[in-house]
Structure 1
Amino acid sequence: MQILNCIIRGELDGILVPVPQYPLYSATISLLGGSLVPYYLEETANWGLDIVNLRQSVAQARSQGITVRAMVIINPGNPTGQCLSEANLKEVLQFCYQNNLVLLGDEVYQQNIYQDERPFISARKVLMDMGGNISKELQLVSFHTVSKGYWGECGQRGGYFEMTNIPPKTAEEIYKVTCTSHSPNVPGQIFVRLMVNPPKPGDISYERFVRESKGILESLRRRAQIVTDGFNSCRNVICNFTEGAMYSFPQIRLPPKAIEAAKNAGKVPDVFYCLKLLEATGISTVPGSGFGQKEGVFHLRTTILPAEEDMPAIMASFKKFNDDFMKQYEDYGGYLRM
């Protein structure tokens, strides 16, 4: 909020935000009186960024008189759970440099990675490795926190932002604004210090720290696989593997009769589905419409945080509900899972 407050001057200032997106961004941009400029992640490309789509989004915003001033990336993704590739990050950095945009790198799930093929790479590292004028001139603000990931799991609050290539006088003013918050919580400060300066070999707590951290992440990796496999075993459900973060974001291919039933009930189709799921199983999920999605495409977001031993039963309960739901509403001339 502090950084967006510095960037947004009025309703004609636009911020590029990924869709699906963490709703904090749309809410904050609206609160500050700016304009959200959406760019769509490509689900079929494992929620990667399409530079062509980015260019189209900027061009459309400019045609409406909007000055696009910054771009947000969420890496690993929320709610989508993907990790951006190094090649994708280079494209984004070049795009921001060419269009004079500040890049806001939301990297709060960087320690929660569940595969080896696409590790987390920070935007700042890629920028510094690129060298040349871009590494000295592109303005980047990187965000990290203990509130997410395996450190705090939303139970602890503390974080930071790091400014790269921000003019010294501007950074000084931002620091002044930040210092007007006189009541930072002490546990949060302790957690942040531990996150940026964890136990090192030889420290009395190092072996226990490594053992516990490894155990948590290995369990989350197994849970991510259980959830992904569970969703993909269901009729009319497609789910990319959760590469990072804490979430799974499956696409639910709702039959026309279900969409019609939702309309008759006065509900958005994915809200209708999630409410039926909650009523039947007690499983609470968030409709994809809460994060933004392409017209006529429906999702839900769920976490991979329940206890590992409970996950198979949870996914079995979901599968039973989904099978019953599809039998009730499916038009056999419509969607069929092949």
Structure 2
Amino acid sequence: LRLDLCFLQGIQKPFKEVIDVSSADPHKTGMKPISFVRQVLAVCLYPELLHNENLPRDVRLRAQTLLRACGGSVGLYSSTLFGLPHVHKSIAEFITRRDEGVPSSSQAIVISPGSHAIVVKLLFSGEGETPTGVLTPIPFPHTLPMVLDDAGVTLVPHHLREDKVWAVDLEELHRAVKTYPGNPTGHVQDRSSIEEVIRFAATEGLLLLVDEVYQDSVFQQGREFISYKKVLFEMGQEYSEIVELISIHSLSNGIIGECGLRGAYLEVINMDPAVMVFLKSLQIGSPAVLGQLAMEIMINPPKHEDPSYETYAQVRGQDDKITTLWTYLRFFFFFFFFFLSCCKCILNNIPVIIYGLYLKVNMMLTASQGVEADMLYCQWLLEEEGICVGAGSENGQVDKNYHLR
């Protein structure tokens, strides 16, 4: 913001604009919105467009269905405090399809304005003589410590094995919050790793909180997203009937990237009914209708026979192009930072596109006056080159083991 103000005031800098490569906001980086999503929402906001034949027929039909589900206007409150029943049902059907027949119930779905809001309230509600602790994988999302601190929850870190592409080290686990695929590391757990975590949770009687908001962002050939719930139920009743699991998905990430519409859902597995009622009671006011409708569109994209499918497929069908571009960008940033002063880079083979890269760097700067070396480097890069990157020290890291986000 300070640099933007300098530009407005005519103050000369060695660059013309700030390039932010640390943001997890896809549209901020120039990604175009999916036309089907925006067209359906536009019709819902202005129903007169239902009669506009310039819009594809499936767009108008979907908008008509969604308007009927929300009572005829997006300006109405949701028909229940917990959200629109139609959206709950659609989410449950999507999860069942995604997990290849593992059933999901609309009663197990909790809709929230954002992926963090309802979880924070759940953690904040804990009582007892000892504080609530959440064992959190390091590196973690850089906003997580602030969120947990606001909730009065103690962050208890456990380190992932970078030498094994950010694998889980069970010896460090005590209480688990899993981010999957990994944020910011971009790692994707394989089935055996997920099974190990589930067995540990079953043995210790722990609740698993699994952040799966990047499930649509796995582009590396030979790697695929497998949900914790699917693995849990394939492990048999010994685990599927006892392990408590909350999985999270959001509008903000992946191909859709609609951060500003504020919509997320939780699926709650094996929770005591009384606790489930309590969890839903943490919701203050009904979630925004527009965000709910956008989620319904996200999980029910155009089908092959629909008029909008070809346009949508041009976005979804670019996995090979995205993989090629991703490979190019990885090496571009590697050489970019390699030839800059102050650091040397090491590349990991990461299959998930989140921010861009989580680069390991060998810093030639040293910490000064309580400021970590990677933070000093980020400040220098912003001031001298106009490039905004995130310091790995914000995500938690082993001492003097530096990364850039």
Q: TM-score w.r.t. structure 1 length? A: 0.77
Selected match of 2:326 from 220, 224, 236:
224
Matched, 1:246 2:354: yes
Is 1:275 aligned to residue 379 of structure 2? yes
Aligned residue among 147, 161, 170 for 2:252: 147
Identity of aligned residues (%): 33
Counterpart check, 1:97 vs 2:202: yes
Pair 181,25 (structure 1): closer, same or farther in 2 beyond 3 Å: farther
Work out the CA distance in 1 between the residues paired with 2:186 and 2:258.
15
The Cα of 1:155 is off from its aligned counterpart by: 4.1
CA contact (8 A) 1:46 1:82 kept: yes
SS in 1 for 2:402: coil
Find the partner of 2:138 among 4, 7, 19: 19
Identify the residue that residue 5 of structure 1 maps to in structure 2: 121
Partners of 1:99 and 1:5 in 2: how far apart?
23
1:80-159 matched pairs, under 5 angstroms: 80-152=185-257, 154-159=259-264
SS of 1:253's equivalent? strand
Alignment of 1:166-245 (within 5 A): 166-178=271-283, 180-182=284-286, 184-215=287-318, 217-233=319-335, 234=338, 236-245=344-353
Q: Deviations over 1:74-125 (max 9, x none)?
A: 1111111111111110001111111111001100011011212221111011
- Output aligned runs, 1:250-329, within 5 Å: 250-255=359-364, 258-259=365-366, 262-263=367-368, 267-301=371-405
CA contact (8 A) 1:77 1:245 kept: no
Determine which of 43, 48, 52 is the counterpart of 2:162.
Answer: 43
* Structure 1 residues 242 and 156: alpha-carbon distance in aligned structure 2, compared to 1, 3 A threshold: farther
Q: Secondary structure at the match of 1:294?
A: coil
Structure 2 matches for 1:156-167, cutoff 5 A? 156-167=261-272
CA positional deviation for 1:229? 1.9
Amino acid at match of 2:362: R
Q: Name the CA shift for 1:175/1:106 in 2 (closer, same or farther; >3 Å).
A: same
Alignment deviations for residues 118-173 of structure 1 (CA, whole Å, 9 cap, x no partner) = 21111011001111221111000000011111202534321101001111221122
Q: Is the 8 A contact 1:113 1:244 kept in 2?
A: yes
User: Aligned to 1:49, what secondary structure does the other structure show?
Assistant: coil
Q: Is the 8 A contact 1:228 1:242 kept in 2?
A: no
Provide the rounded CA distance (Å) in 1 between the counterparts of 2:118 and 2:289.
Answer: 21
- Determine the C-alpha separation between the residues in 2 that align with 1:276 and 1:37: 31
CA contact (8 A) 1:108 1:149 kept: yes
Amino acid at match of 2:150: L
Q: 2 CA distance for matches of 1:208 and 1:110? A: 22
Report the CA distance between 1:50 and its aligned residue. 1.1
2:8 is matched with none
- Paired with 1:218 and 1:174, the residues of 2 have a C-alpha distance of 41
User: Match for 1:188: what amino acid?
Assistant: G
Change in CA separation of 1:78 and 1:295 when aligned onto 2, cut-off 3 Å: same
Quick one: distance in 2 between partners of 1:284 and 1:20?
19
Q: Deviations over 1:265-318 (max 9, x none)?
A: x632001111111223211101001110001111110xxxxxxxxxxxxxxxxx
Q: Report the Cα offset of residue 26 of structure 1.
A: 2.1
Q: How many residues align?
A: 279
Aligned residues: CA RMSD: 2.0
Aligned counterparts of 2:389 and 2:241: Cα–Cα separation in 1: 43
Distance 1:42 1:169, change over 3 A: same
| Alignment partners' CA distance in 2, 1:224 and 1:155 | 25
Q: Check the 8 A contact 1:23/1:291 in 2, yes or no.
A: yes
CA contact (8 A) 2:211 2:248 kept: yes
**SS across alignment from 2:241:** helix
Task: Write the distance in 2 (CA, Å) between the matches of 1:108 and 1:290.
Answer: 20
Q: TM-score, normalised by structure 2?
A: 0.65
> How far apart, CA to CA, are the structure 1 residues paired with 2:248 and 2:358?
23
Unaligned 5+ runs, structure 1: 59-67, 302-338
2:291 is aligned with what amino acid? G
Match of 2:145, SS state, is helix
- Distance (Å, rounded) in 2 between the aligned partners of 1:263 and 1:14: 31
Contact 1:225 1:241 in 2 (8 A): no
SS in 1 for 2:294: helix
Q: Which runs of 5+ in 2 are unaligned?
A: 1-116
Q: Which residue of 1 aligns with 2:82?
A: none
SS at match of 1:141: strand
Cα distance, 1:177 vs structure 2: 2.2
CA distance in 2, matches of 1:231, 1:195: 31
